[in-house]
Structure 1
C-alpha cells in the first residue's frame, strides 16, 4: 500500500459544545440555532460533525471567520480542550488503531510531546517568556524524555539557527523578542522532537506584513525540508493560498466546503466561500 495514499491523521465526526444543550437545540436543525448558538439555553456548538484526513507531507488549510470553530478544533486536536464526541486516529501512534481522544491523560501527554507540535497565535500560550529561548526548547525535549544536557543544547542551537534566531540571543528570554521572533522560537520548540504533524493556529495574526511574509517563508521552507504534515488555521485566504495543498472552509462550527486549494479559490461553490474569495480579489 502506498504510504502517501494512507492518511496520517483521520478525524471523524468531532463535536465540541460549550453548555449542556436543551430540548430546543439538542436535535440540531437549521431553525434551532442562531449561527452556532442556542438562544434558549445559550449552549455554543463550536464544532459540529467535523471530519477530514491529513496525508503525509500535506498542508491542510482551515479557513473561516472568527467564531467559526477552527481554533476550537485545533485546541481539541492538541488536547488543550476535550471533545464532546468524535474520533481521531494517528497512523504513527499505535498503528492508527486507537481513538486518541479516548486515551488516558498520560498517553495524551505522550502524543503531545512526540507526535504533535503546535504553534499558538499568542506566543504567551506556547512559550515561557522568562525562560531563555534555548531553555524553551529544552523544556519540550525534557518532556519527551531527553536527559543529556549537551545533546539538548546542540539540538536547541541547531533549531534556533534554522529559524534565524542569532546565536548570541539564544540565552535571552523571549519576552525581549519581537512578535515575529517569538513565533520563530515557538516554531523551533514545536519541531524539537521531529513530530510528524504540526498544528499552526493563526501564526501570522498581529504581525507586520513583512514579518508575516518571513514567517510564512520559513514555514514553507521547513515543510519542504522535513516533509512534515501541517494543519494551518487562518482567517486570511492569502496565507492559505501560499501554503495549503487542500483547504477546508468552516462557518458557524461546520465544514461548508473542502477541496484542493486552487479549486476552492478559483471556483468556490458555497456562498460564504464565494464571499471570502471575492473579498481577497
Structure 2
C-alpha cells in the first residue's frame, strides 16, 4: 500500500458469468469489448489498481458500460468483487484486504468509513421516510441512539445541502431530482465518513441544478476535507471536481493522471476522442 493513501485498490476484478476455456486465460483471451462471445461472460472490471489520497477528489470517467459503476459497487460492497485487494489505511483494518472480511465487518465499514451517493436516488433513499428520517436511519446504523442529537445533526446537514428545514419532515418522493440528490448527499455525510463515493450524481438533472449540486460537492470537500471518488461519463463534471482522473474503457484503466494534464494532453486515442467531444 502507498503509505500516504487512505484507500488502495489492487488488481480488482469483477466478472459476471462463469468464464470458459476461451476467456479464462488472460493472455489468450479474445473478448469483444469486455464480453466473451463464446460463453457470454462479461469482464466488467479488469485488473483495476489505484490509490486514493486524503482530501483528494479522484475522478473516474468512461462511457456507459466501461465498468466504472461496477467498480464503485464493488468498493461499497453492493457487489462482491471476483478477486483483488482493497486496503483501508486505518488502525482497525491495518493492511487487511477488506474485500475478504465478513459481511458484518463490511457493514461496519459502510456505516462508519464510507458514504455513497447513487445515480438513482431510489437506491440511496427510502422514498417514504421523511428527509430527516433518511438521515436518522444512517445515524442509527452507525450506532446513534440520542434522538435530540440525531435531529440536530440532521438539521445541520440539511441546511448544509440547502434543503429548507420546513420541508425536513417531507418524503423525498415529493422532492425534485436535484433536491433528492442533495438529501442523499446529506445522508451519506451523516456518519462523517472519511471517504465518499459519488456515482453519476448529476445525470438526468437540469444544467442549472447540476451546477448547484457540483458546487455543493466542491464546498463540502473543501470544508470537511473528505476524500472522494467521483464517477461520471461527463468530462465537464470531472473537470470541475477531480484533482486526478482515471479513464476506463471496457473494464480497464487505459489512462490516468492529473485531470488538467489528461484534458490538455490526452495520450490514449479514446481519451483524445473524449476530450475533443468536450471542446
Where do residues 100-111 of structure 1 align in structure 2 (5 Å cutoff)? 100-111=98-109
Aligned partners of 1:249 and 1:52: how far apart in 2?
12
Query: Which of 29, 35, 38 does residue 37 from structure 1 map onto?
Result: 35
Q: Deviations over 1:6-64 (max 9, x none)?
A: 00000000000000100101112476100000000000000000000000000000000
Task: Give 3-state SS (helix, strand or coil) of 2:15's partner.
Answer: strand
Query: Which of 261, 267, 276 does residue 265 from structure 2 map onto?
Result: 267
Q: 1:121 Cα shift?
A: 0.1
Where do residues 64-75 of structure 1 align in structure 2 (5 Å cutoff)? 64-75=62-73
1:234 aligns to 2:198 (yes or no): no
TM-score (normalizing by structure 2):
0.98
Aligned partners of 1:131 and 1:217: how far apart in 2?
27
Task: Give 3-state SS (helix, strand or coil) of 1:46's partner.
Answer: strand
Is 85-94 or 8-17 further displaced after alignment? 85-94
Q: 1:111 Cα shift?
A: 0.3
1:17 corresponding residue in structure 2: 15
- Checking the alignment, whether the CA contact within 8 Å between 2:254 and 2:268 is kept in structure 1 is yes
Aligned length: 278
Q: 1:5 Cα shift?
A: 6.4
- Checking the alignment, whether the CA contact within 8 Å between 2:22 and 2:28 is kept in structure 1 is no
1:7 aligns to 2:5 (yes or no): yes
TM-score (normalizing by structure 1):
0.97
Q: 1:94 Cα shift?
A: 2.0
1:191 aligns to 2:189 (yes or no): yes
- Checking the alignment, whether the CA contact within 8 Å between 1:92 and 1:115 is kept in structure 2 is no
- Checking the alignment, whether the CA contact within 8 Å between 1:18 and 1:46 is kept in structure 2 is yes
1:47 corresponding residue in structure 2: 45
Q: 1:98 Cα shift?
A: 1.0
Is 28-37 or 131-140 further displaced after alignment? 28-37
Task: Give 3-state SS (helix, strand or coil) of 2:79's partner.
Answer: coil
Where do residues 1-281 of structure 1 align in structure 2 (5 Å cutoff)? 6-29=4-27, 32-92=30-90, 94-281=92-279
Contiguous gaps of at least 5 residues in structure 2: none
Aligned-residue CA RMSD in angstroms? Answer: 1.1
Aligned partners of 2:128 and 2:25: how far apart in 1?
48
